[in-house]
């Protein structure tokens, strides 16, 4: 769970919303430190087609509550997976924090 400015943000809810975007193949949502809000929502995206960070943010803004959409977007070619094919979010945090 990400706590952004006192609001609870569940990464799974944000991931499910962003996966509906036609140009996103896979996404993982992590919390990154933020001076103002404590944590900020960061989407790590594997694009399926040409998509920009602004596109992802605008899509999130349109489909999620204002405290839930990602303000930061990072692009990768693949998400790190563990032996059970679960996304290793701790690896993403090490990479992007």
Question: Is position 92 within any domain?
Answer: no
Question: Is position 12 within any domain?
Answer: yes
- State the virtual CA torsion across 13, 38, 78, 69 in degrees, nearest 10: 40
Q: Does residue 6 surpass a pLDDT of 90?
A: yes
Question: Is position 50 within any domain?
Answer: yes
Question: Is position 31 within any domain?
Answer: yes
Question: Stretch 7-13: mean pLDDT, rounded?
Answer: 97
Residue 59 three-state SS = helix
- Does the predicted TM-score (pTM) go above 0.85? yes
Q: What is the pLDDT of residues 28-79, one digit of tens each?
A: 999 999 999 999 999 999 999 999 999 999 999 999 999 999 999 999 999 9
Question: Is position 96 within any domain?
Answer: no
Tokens (6 digits) for 17: 């919303």
- φ, ψ (nearest 5 deg) of residue 69: -70, 150
Output the pLDDT for position 15. 98
Question: Is position 22 within any domain?
Answer: yes
Report the number of distinct structural domains present in the chain.
1
Output the pLDDT for position 97. 86
Q: Are 25 and 47 in contact (CB under 8 A)?
A: yes
Question: Is position 49 within any domain?
Answer: yes
Q: Are 28 and 88 in contact (CB under 8 A)?
A: no
């Amino acid at each position: 769970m990400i706590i952004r400015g006192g609001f609870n943000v569940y990464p799974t809810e944000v991931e499910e919303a962003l996966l509906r975007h036609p140009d996103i193949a896979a996404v993982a949502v992590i919390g990154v430190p933020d001076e103002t809000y404590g944590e900020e929502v960061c989407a790590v995206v594997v694009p399926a087609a040409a998509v920009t960070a602004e596109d992802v943010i605008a899509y999130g803004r349109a489909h999620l509550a204002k405290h839930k959409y990602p303000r930061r977007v990072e692009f990768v070619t693949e998400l790190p997976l563990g032996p059970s094919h679960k996304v290793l979010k701790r690896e993403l945090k090490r990479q992007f924090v």
